[in-house]
A and B are shown apart, each in its own frame.
Chain A
Amino acid sequence: TQLLEQSPQFLSIQEGENLTVYCNSSSVFSSLQWYRQEPGEGPVLLVTVVTGGEVKKLKRLTFQFGDARKDSSLHITAAQPGDTGLYLCAGAHGAGSYQLTFGKGTKLSVIP
């Protein structure tokens, strides 16, 4: 079973602070996705990273895929209350694979 370990599991910060969430595995993934899930709703895709070492920016969010394609990080600059939610990483195993491997998530609370 391929596992994705996310850390931290819970994070509570003040508005304006920076934070980083990590997603680690011993397995290589063809690509890695980050989803955000708000209470009472389904996950929504934020980004897909494909190439080892790739960095993608989405406004105040910066996503990085590790060089070996085994890990990824999500950095949020100047967090806002609207960033509150559950952040999930999901690893893809390549063409022909039906299943994503999901991490257990990081629950972020940004306090105004």
Chain B
Amino acid sequence: NAGVTQTPKFQVLKTGQSMTLQCAQDMNHEYMSWYRQDPGMGLRLIHYSVGAGITDQGEVPNGYNVSRSTTEDFPLRLLSAAPSQTSVYFCASSEDLAGAGNEQFFGPGTRLTVL
């Protein structure tokens, strides 16, 4: 199993550009999440999904959209990139709700720079 995969690994955008960060998992997990990791801030939840067709906002959702058309895929869209969105983005999946203490499996991350 590949686990959780993310593409691209690195990305540089100009302010105002849009892009989609891809995330896929092959563990048949219902629950998937997107986090951003910034120095001194820890991991912060952007959006999460409890199954295909069901998504909800996390702690820092502004400027991001998500959709979940299949169990496997959970893309994150930046609508109009801003320098404040410069960060490392992690996708994670789990068998059950993360807040219930279930193990989260993280992808390798996408390092995004917005100029």
Q: Do A42 and B40 form a contact, CB below 8 Å, given A30-B100, A98-B98?
A: no
Number of A-B contacts (CB under 8 A): 72
The answer to whether B97 touches A97, judged by C-beta atoms less than 8 angstroms apart, is: yes
Give A69-112 as 1s and 0s: 1 = Cβ < 8 Å from B's Cβ atoms.
Answer: 00000000000000000001010111111111011110000000
Residues of A within 8 A of B109 (CB): 40-42
Query: For this complex, into which size category does the number of interface residues on chain A fall?
Result: 20 to 34
A95 and B42 contact, Cβ closer than 8 Å, known pairs A40-B108, A41-B109, A42-B107: no
B98 & A45 in contact (Cβ 8 Å cutoff): no
* Interface residue from A90, A95, A105 paired with B100 (Cβ < 8 Å): A95
Question: Secondary structure at chain B's binding surface: helix, strand, loop or mixed?
Answer: mixed
A-B contact list, 15 entries, CB within 8 Å: A30-B101, A31-B101, A45-B104, A48-B101, A88-B43, A93-B99, A93-B100, A94-B99, A98-B58, A98-B97, A98-B98, A100-B99, A100-B104, A103-B42, A105-B42
